[in-house]
């Protein structure tokens, strides 16, 4: 540094002479050179050798300043992460004993292939080179918002993309998951409390199974309990065999001693129980010896009544992670959602929370996608409203029943109840299906005509009704199409056979289902026609029914025929439900959560122009 | 369930230094095992060069900050010693003078052609949060910035590797990389994780 002051900016000088104010530095005479100020002890020292040399010369050489710039290394923070001992999969997990029914593993693809994506249906496959799927997307695991510690958050942030994990672990899938499904897996993977609320048919089952599979392989969980409706147990077993064939499964069933053994069996990392059995085995569940790293509830709307015994037993299961699957987190009111959260994260939601607060509190816990948003290439649902005139016989019966019914309700005066109105509604709806005297039915005539065409083209159809007795009548009239029935009167051990026959028997063109039994968990995407012979009270349940056919793997558009008798109670119900459906759509867009979907008390009374009796006012609908 | 203990002996290190005009330089060091799972992560506080450093180091300022300061601090704090350390900018290579580990600058685009030397990080989901140094602060490839003879270079099918010429033997690690890791993994992907982690560790860097 032998330059004059004039060429060195003041701010640089100030860094070398931090103790001298900038104003004083500026006042140092340029002609004297800033070296003349070096006598100050606070200034950097000179090298001695240079100083001595300068003193020996007759003509003093310019003084040389050696500035020692200290460069301490920057501060760091660091974290170490546990190395998973169980990450790569070398051999299938076939050795675990099981109940002899639930864990027979098969090679992927050897099972039901009905759910395969037609565009990628080429047998088991991984996710391509360098862990990216065909879209090149890398799915990253993002930490949930409620994870506070930086170390915990970084643990997830620093994980490789899911596609890479899948590839490293040599995991194969019967078909390549869609990108949104990988997002769903990543969502579940990182969360201790989560609701996967995808619209029916988007593959919630596959996403949950794969997330469980990856957590087991990574050693982050060691055991998991799946609770589902009893009719869906075999469906889950089939899906596990397809998506995670190496994982032994134990189904909790049989007599009490056998169930007790299965509950305590440590060899099967995944156990499947049904809601009905949870009540019987509540004493085992409450025991201290039972603990699950993960409890997954399928069709979690089953615990929407938090005071029910089922809900209480499910909530009592000792566990670390709680997941729920449901296509309808809110069937009737936001209280349904609050109840599910009592299982996921007790106290997180309250009934009196404002809708906006609810949306804010749940947004990191709920993942919901709809087909129109994520499956733009999926064949559409084509709605066809079959507005039918009643036959003369039906009209006559209907008119009499309605007039008598309304008069009866009016006579009841203050003592009228919802039940009274409901009974009248049901009676009128049944007449809309068939005339009770002659059996004539405009709906059935239309259905027969449509079935002729469907059968002629080798297609299959699903017919839904809320009454088994109605299905019986339909079955007789459609006998030439070899119908099979799937409803509450069909024993659960025969139901799989019914589905298999419908799937495999070319002569069997129609399956008759009740909303209750057939609305959830079944994969009937080979079926391209759905008839709603009568209408359910809640559009969410109708949607579930329709989505038995309109789901992943469907190859053609699904035509949904909504049968409705004009100028009847059915039209009035439909008008109310349409309004609610629109409201739901609006609320999901704005707040992420829907509100009441079913009919409330005001609306039920309103069907006949009645006012709610004063004694009901002030009560929740 | 196969009990396959993935050996930490085969760990691989990745260092990325990112720059933000308003906050300075951020460094992150990720150690992963042979199946790409994280073993260690270290990051620095933001480092802002002083005016004196800017003048004194001149065109070598980024080498000083990225290599001598940030990378040296990061590598010296790690508990595990990886087989090789990959960096995503040439400015970090000079850490090799202080650390006795193979240090390689990895770029996409090898013998098979493909992408240029530009970083794939520009397409990172957090690219808008921590802009790549090469974009914001003019990091250049060795051939453009300095005399090419100062670097030794080797290409594989998908990548191009460079190291300081005086440590040419570091390129031997390329064989190990190709055999044990790169065949199944994207060598650029861990840098994206580092960027994500830096945004978590320094929330102020997140876009407003």
- Condensed to tens digits (0 to 9), the pLDDT of residues B12-41 reads 999 999 888 778 888 999 999 888 889 999
Helices (H) and strands (E) in chain A, counts: 24, 14
Query: Pairing state of beta strands A224-228 and A270-274?
Result: parallel
Q: How high is the pLDDT of residue A265?
A: 83
What is the reported pLDDT for A14?
60
Inter-chain residue contact B3 with A86, CB threshold 8 Å: yes
User: Is residue A36 pLDDT above 50, yes or no?
Assistant: no
Is pLDDT larger for residue A335 or for residue B147? A335
- A182 part of a folded domain: no
For the record, the structure tokens of B161 come out as: 């590797």
Per the structure, the count of domains in chain A is: 3
Helix (H) or strand (E) holding B104: strand B103-108
Whether residue A361 is found in the same domain as residue A438 = no
Model confidence at B145: pLDDT above 90:
no
pLDDT of A7 higher than 60: no
Q: Is the CB of residue A16 less than 8 Å from the CB of residue B53?
A: no
Which band of pLDDT confidence, cut at 50, 70 and 90, is reported for residue A397?
A: very high
Q: Are residues A283 and A397 in the same domain?
A: no
Average pLDDT over residues A65-78: 82
Q: If pLDDT is split at 50, 70 and 90, which confidence band does A471 have?
A: very high
With 50 as the cut, is the pLDDT of residue A31 above it? no
On whether the CB atoms of residues A516 and A487 are closer than 8 A, the answer is yes
| % of chain B beyond a pLDDT of 90 | 41
Whether A177 is in a domain gets the answer no
Measured distance CA(A544)–CA(A552) in Å, rounded:
14
- Residue A98 to residues A236, A250, A266, A267, A271: CA-CA distances in angstroms? 15, 5, 10, 8, 10
Amino acid A251: pLDDT = 95
- What is the model's pLDDT at position A119? 34
Of A319-323, A492-496, A583-587, B149-153, minimum mean pLDDT range: A583-587
Q: What CATH number is associated with residue B157? A: 3.30.2170
Question: pLDDT-derived band of residue A520, with 50, 70 and 90 as boundaries?
Answer: low
pLDDT digits (tens, 9 = 90+) for A151-196: 999 999 999 999 888 887 788 888 888 899 999 999 999 999 999 9
CATH of the domain at A292: 3.40.50.10810
Q: Is the pLDDT of residue A34 over 80?
A: no
Q: Rounded distance, CA A565 to CA A607, Å?
A: 15
ipTM surpassing 0.85: no
Supply the pLDDT for residue A217. Answer: 86
The CATH number assigned to the domain holding A393 equals: 3.40.50.300
The per-residue pLDDT for A120 is 35
pLDDT at A248 over 70: yes
In this prediction, what percent of chain A has a pLDDT beyond 70? 74
Contacts of A169 in chain B (CB under 8 A): 35
Range(s) of the domain holding residue B36: 8-205
Residue A114 has pLDDT above 80, yes or no: no
Asked whether residue A478 is assigned to any structural domain, the reply reads yes
Q: Based on the fold, state whether residues A588 and A445 are members of the same structural domain.
A: yes
d(CA A588, CA A598) in angstroms, rounded, equals 16
- A285 lies in the same domain as A327: yes
The distance of A323 to chain B (nearest Cα, Å) reads: 24
Q: What percent of the residues of chain B are helix, what percent strand, and what percent coil, each to the nearest 5?
A: 40, 25, 35
Q: Are residues A275 and A392 located together in one domain of the fold?
A: no
User: Where does the pLDDT of residue B106 fall: very low under 50, low under 70, confident under 90, or very high at 90 and above?
Assistant: very high
Amino acid A434: pLDDT:
93
* Residues sharing a CB contact under 8 Å with residue A597, sequence separation 6 or more, in sequence order: A328, A330, A331, A332, A538, A539, A540, A580, A581, A584
CA distance A68 to chain B (A): 12
Task: Specify whether the CB–CB gap between B84 and B102 falls below 8 A.
Answer: yes
Of residues B2 and B67, more confidently modeled: B67
Residues A546-577: tens digit of each pLDDT:
888 887 777 888 889 999 998 999 988 888 77
| Ranges of H-type helices in chain B | 51-57, 61-62, 72-77, 133-136, 142-145, 173-180, 189-201
pLDDT confidence of A615, banded at 50, 70, 90?
low
- What is the Cα–Cα distance from A44 to A523, expressed in whole angstroms? 82
Between chains, do A74 and B47 touch, taking CB under 8 Å as contact? Answer: yes
pLDDT for residue A221 is more than 90: yes
Chain B hits for A150, CB-CB cut-off 8 Å, are 200-201
3-class SS at A513? strand
**Last residue in a domain, options A320, A355, A372:** A372
Residues A366 and A423 in one domain: no
Domain end, chosen from A41, A58, A76, is at A76
* pLDDT: which is higher, A309 or B111: A309
> With bands split at pLDDT 50, 70 and 90, how would you rate the model's confidence at B78?
very high
CB B102 within 8 A of CB B83: yes
Q: Is the pLDDT of residue B2 over 80?
A: no
Per-residue pLDDT at A492 exceeds 70: yes
Count of domains observed in chain B: 1
CB contact under 8 A, A88 and B2: yes
pLDDT at A337: 87
Burial of A520 (0-12, 13-18, 19+ CB in 10 A): buried
How close B197 comes to chain A (CA, Å)?
Answer: 6
Domain that holds residue A14: 1-76
Q: Which residues of B touch A79 (CB under 8 A)?
A: 40-42
3-state SS class at A113 = coil
Residues A344 and A457 in one domain: no
Does B37 contact A81 at a Cβ distance shorter than 8 Å? Answer: yes
Tokens encoding A293: 């790293």
Does residue A269 lie within any of the structural domains?
Answer: yes
Integer CA distances (angstroms), A179 to A184, A197, B112, B120, in order:
9, 17, 28, 20
Q: Looking at residue A536, what is its pLDDT?
A: 84
Residue A81: inside a domain: no
Q: What is the pTM of this model?
A: 0.67
Do A390 and A262 share a structural domain?
no
How high is the pLDDT of residue A3? 42
| pLDDT at residue B140 in the model | 34
Please, what is the average pLDDT of chain A?
A: 78
**Of A220 and A122, which is predicted with more confidence?**
A220
Q: Which pLDDT value is given to residue A174?
A: 85
Residue of higher predicted confidence among A1 and B103: B103
The answer to whether A154 contacts B5, with C-beta atoms less than 8 Å apart, is no
A339 with A470, same domain: the answer is: no
Half-sphere exposure of A255 (CA within 13 A, CB side): 1
How many residue pairs from chains A and B have C-beta atoms closer than 8 A?
A: 143
In chain B, count H helices and then E strands: 7, 7
Residue-wise pLDDT for A409-447, tens only, equals: 878 777 878 888 888 999 999 999 999 989 999 999 989
Residues from chain A contacting residue B108 (CB–CB below 8 Å): none
From the list B164, B170, B155, B199, the residue with the least C-alpha distance to B43 is B199
A167 closest CB neighbour out of B74, B184, B201 = B184
- Which helix H or strand E contains A451, and what residues bound it? helix A442-456
Using 50, 70 and 90 to split pLDDT, how confident is the model at A613?
A: low
Residue A221, both tokens = 């969980």
Tell me what the mean pLDDT of segment A369-385 comes to: 80
* A347 lies in the same domain as A419: no
Residue A117: inside a domain: no
Are A365 and A401 members of one domain? no
Which of the listed residues A76, A102, A119 is the one where a domain comes to its end?
A: A76
d(CA A137, nearest CA chain B) in Å: 11
- The answer to whether residue A137 is domain-embedded is no
B2, part of any domain: no
Strands B24-32 and B12-20 turn out to be antiparallel
A439: left (phi over 0), alpha (psi -120 to 50) or beta: left
Exposed, middle or buried, B182 (CB in 10 Å: 0-12/13-18/19+)?
buried
Residue in chain B lying closest to A143 (CA)? B200
Whether the pLDDT of residue B7 is over 50: the answer is: no
Residue of A497, A498, A501 lying closest to A486 (CA atoms): A498
Out of B1, B43, B200, closest to residue A86 by CB:
B1
The conformational region for residue B109 under phi > 0 = left, psi -120 to 50 = alpha, else beta, is: left
Nearest-by-Cβ selection for B44 from A74, A83, A143: A74
Q: Does the pLDDT value for residue A97 go beyond 50?
A: no
Residue A225 contacts residue A236 (beta carbons within 8 Å): no
For residue A621, tell me if it sits in a domain: no
- The Cα-based distances of A70 to A73, B50, B52, B53, B166 in angstroms read 10, 12, 11, 10, 27
Give the pLDDT of residue A605.
66
Mean pLDDT of A234-263: 91
Q: Which helix (H) or strand (E) element contains residue A98?
A: none
**A447 & A546 share domain:** yes
Q: What is the DSSP letter of A18?
A: T
């Amino acid at each position: 540094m032998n330059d004059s002051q004039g060429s060195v900016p003041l701010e640089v000088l100030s860094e070398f002479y931090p103790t001298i104010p900038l104003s004083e530095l500026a006042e140092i005479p340029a002609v004297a050179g800033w070296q003349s100020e070096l006598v100050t002890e606070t200034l950097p020292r000179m090298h001695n050798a240079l100083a001595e040399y300068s003193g020996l010369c007759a003509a003093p050489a310019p003084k040389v300043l050696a500035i020692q710039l200290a460069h301490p290394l920057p501060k760091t923070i660091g974290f170490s992460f546990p190395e998973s001992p169980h990450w790569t999969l070398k051999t299938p997990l076939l050795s675990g004993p099981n109940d002899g029914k639930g864990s027979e593993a098969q090679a992927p693809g050897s099972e039901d292939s009905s759910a395969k994506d037609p565009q990628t249906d080429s047998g088991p496959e991984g996710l391509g080179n360098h862990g990216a799927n065909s879209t090149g997307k890398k799915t990253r695991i993002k930490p949930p918002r409620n994870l506070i510690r930086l170390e915990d958050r970084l643990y997830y942030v620093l994980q490789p993309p899911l596609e890479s994990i899948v590839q490293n672990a040599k995991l194969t899938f019967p078909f390549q998951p869609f990108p949104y499904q990988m997002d769903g897996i990543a969502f579940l993977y990182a969360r201790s409390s989560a609701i996967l609320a995808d619209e029916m048919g988007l593959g919630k089952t596959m996403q949950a199974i794969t997330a469980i599979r990856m957590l087991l392989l990574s050693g982050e969980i060691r055991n998991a309990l799946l609770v589902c409706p009893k009719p869906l147990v075999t469906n889950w077993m089939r899906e596990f065999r397809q998506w995670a064939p190496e994982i032994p499964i134990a189904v909790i069933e049989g007599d009490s001693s056998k169930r007790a053994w299965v509950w305590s069996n440590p060899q099967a990392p995944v156990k499947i129980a049904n809601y009905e059995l949870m009540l019987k085995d509540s004493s085992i569940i409450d025991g201290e010896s039972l603990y699950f790293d993960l409890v997954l509830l399928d069709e979690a709307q089953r615990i929407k009544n938090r005071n029910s015994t089922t809900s209480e037993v499910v909530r009592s299961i000792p566990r670390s992670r709680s997941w729920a699957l449901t296509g309808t987190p809110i069937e009737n009111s936001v209280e349904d959602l609050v109840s599910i959260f009592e299982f996921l994260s007790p106290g997180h939601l309250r009934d009196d929370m404002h809708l906006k607060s609810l949306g804010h509190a749940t947004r990191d816990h709920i993942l919901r996608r709809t087909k129109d948003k994520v499956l733009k290439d999926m064949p559409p649902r084509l709605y066809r409203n079959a507005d039918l005139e009643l036959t003369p016989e039906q009209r006559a019966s209907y008119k009499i029943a309605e007039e008598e019914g309304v008069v009866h309700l009016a006579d009841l005066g203050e003592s009228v109840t919802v039940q009274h109105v409901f009974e009248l509604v049901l009676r009128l709806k049944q007449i809309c299906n068939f005339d009770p005297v002659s059996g004539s039915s405009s709906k059935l005539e239309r259905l027969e005509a449509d079935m002729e065409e469907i059968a002629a083209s080798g297609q299959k159809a699903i017919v839904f009704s809320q009454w088994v007795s109605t299905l019986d009548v339909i079955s007789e009239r459609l006998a030439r199409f070899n119908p099979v029935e799937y409803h509450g009167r069909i024993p659960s051990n025969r139901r799989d056979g019914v589905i298999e026959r419908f799937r495999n028997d070319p002569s069997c063109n129609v399956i008759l289902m009740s909303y209750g039994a057939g609305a959830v968990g079944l994969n009937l995407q080979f079926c391209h026609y759905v008839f709603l012979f009568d209408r359910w009270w809640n559009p969410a349940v109708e949607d579930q029914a329709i989505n038995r056919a309109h789901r992943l793997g469907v190859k053609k558009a699904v035509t949904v025929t909504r049968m409705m008798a004009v100028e009847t109670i059915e039209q009035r119900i439909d008008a109310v439900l349409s309004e609610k459906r629109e409201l739901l759509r609006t609320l999901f867009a704005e707040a992420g959560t829907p509100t009441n979907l079913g009919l409330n008390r005001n609306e039920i009374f309103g069907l006949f122009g009645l006012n709610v009796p004063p004694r009901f006012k002030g009560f929740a609908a | 369930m196969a009990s396959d203990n993935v050996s930490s002996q085969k760990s691989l290190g990745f260092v990325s230094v990112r720059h933000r005009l308003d906050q300075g330089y951020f460094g992150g060091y990720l150690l992963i095992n042979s199946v790409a799972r994280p073993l260690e992560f270290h990051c620095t506080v933001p480092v802002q060069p002083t005016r004196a450093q800017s003048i004194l180091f001149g065109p070598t300022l980024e080498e000083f900050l990225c290599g001598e300061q940030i990378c040296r601090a990061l590598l010296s704090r790690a508990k595990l010693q990886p087989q090789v350390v990959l960096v995503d900018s040439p400015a970090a290579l000079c850490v090799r003078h202080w650390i006795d580990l193979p240090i390689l600058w990895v770029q996409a685009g090898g013998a098979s052609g493909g992408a240029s030397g530009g970083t794939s990080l520009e397409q990172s989901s957090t690219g808008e949060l921590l802009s790549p140094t090469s974009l914001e602060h003019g990091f250049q490839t060795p051939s453009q910035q300095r005399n090419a003879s100062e670097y030794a270079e080797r290409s594989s099918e998908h990548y191009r590797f460079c190291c300081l010429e005086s440590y040419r033997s570091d390129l031997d690690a390329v064989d190990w990389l190709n055999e044990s890791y790169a065949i199944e993994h994207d060598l650029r992907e861990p840098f994206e994780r580092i960027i994500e982690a830096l945004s978590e560790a320094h929330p102020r860097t997140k876009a407003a």
